[in-house]
Amino acid sequence: MTYTLTQRFWFDAAHTLDRQIEREGSLRIHGHTYHAEVSVQGTPDPATGMVLDLGLLRREVEAVRERLDHRLLDEIPELGKPTLENLCAYIARHLAGRVPVTSVRVWRESIGDGCLLTL
């Protein structure tokens, strides 16, 4: 059997975005509360009964959250353009090699936008 563990977190951040629709507001610095969920999959270790120690997952997720929370996303060079897609990829890259990430979801609850990256 394969199990999926998840850890959710949120962060507040500002950004600008050059886009064709809703252009004027997007070009100005504005902020959102972003929600994110990281998933890992696996088979529980017979000795521990766990796929992954959730304390480890929380610690690694918190380190990524600190890189994003209360930041101007435009100023994070490894992020690229501050889109939902790039936020998913950024989170996945920073967790790679630390935890066996299988998906990352980022969404903005207040306006209903979201993105799911499946690895």
What pLDDT shows up at residue 24?
67
> What is the C-alpha to C-alpha distance for residues 21 and 63, in angstroms, rounded to an integer?
34
Other residues' Cβ atoms within 10 Å of the Cβ of residue 110: 9
What per-residue confidence (pLDDT) applies to 117?
98
DSSP string, the chain: --EEEEEEEEEEEEE----STTHHHHHS-EEEEEEEEEEEEE---TTTS-SS-HHHHHHHHHHHHHHHTTEEGGG-TTT-S--HHHHHHHHHHHHTTTS-EEEEEEEETTTTEEEEEE-
Q: What is the pLDDT of residue 20?
A: 74
The CA distance from 51 to 48, in Å, is 8
Q: Quote the pLDDT of residue 43.
A: 96
pTM of the model: 0.93
Block mean pLDDT (10 aa), the chain, length 119: 96 88 76 97 96 97 98 96 97 96 97 97
pLDDT tens profile 78-100 = 999 999 999 999 999 999 999 99
For the chain, domains (ranges, CATH) are 3-118 (3.30.479.10)
